[in-house]
Amino acid sequence: MAQGVRAHLRYSIDHEWLEDGEPARVGITTVAADALGEVVFVDLPEVGAQVEAGEPCGELESTKSVSDLVSPVSGTVVAVNEAVVDEPGTINEDPYGAGWLFTVTVSAEGDLLSAQDYADKFDAVVDG
């Protein structure tokens, strides 16, 4: 079954999503969450940290592997989701909602895909 992606978000080739706003919100896609399996540990950038588009800024550890968290934008981290640090499984349960990872004041964007382009590339479906 194809996984769903949200139409109002933009996506990186590294499976992060970006919700535009001030600040912008970042998380991982259902494609990434499903590929990782059960997420058991999350290492997020610190508030105030500078992140660079296309560069690792944290890690997600699952029962299967450890994967870099790659920032889809450059900017300053203004908040992190402490709830997913305490309960990493939230990322699997609700990657587009309660499982968001951090917010950032964007200074530059990386290469981002539309929901449809991401869905086409990774055999997913756009679902609202």
How far is 68 from 71, CA to CA, in rounded Å? Answer: 10
Under DSSP, is residue 84 helix (H, G, I), strand (E, B) or coil? helix
- Predicted model pTM: 0.95
How far is 33 from 53, CA to CA, in rounded Å? Answer: 20
The more confidently predicted of residues 44 and 3 is: 44
CA 10, 127, 13 angle in degrees (round to 5)? 30
Looking at residue 2, what is its pLDDT? 62
Give the model confidence (pLDDT) of 65-89 as tens digits.
Answer: 999 999 999 999 999 999 999 999 9
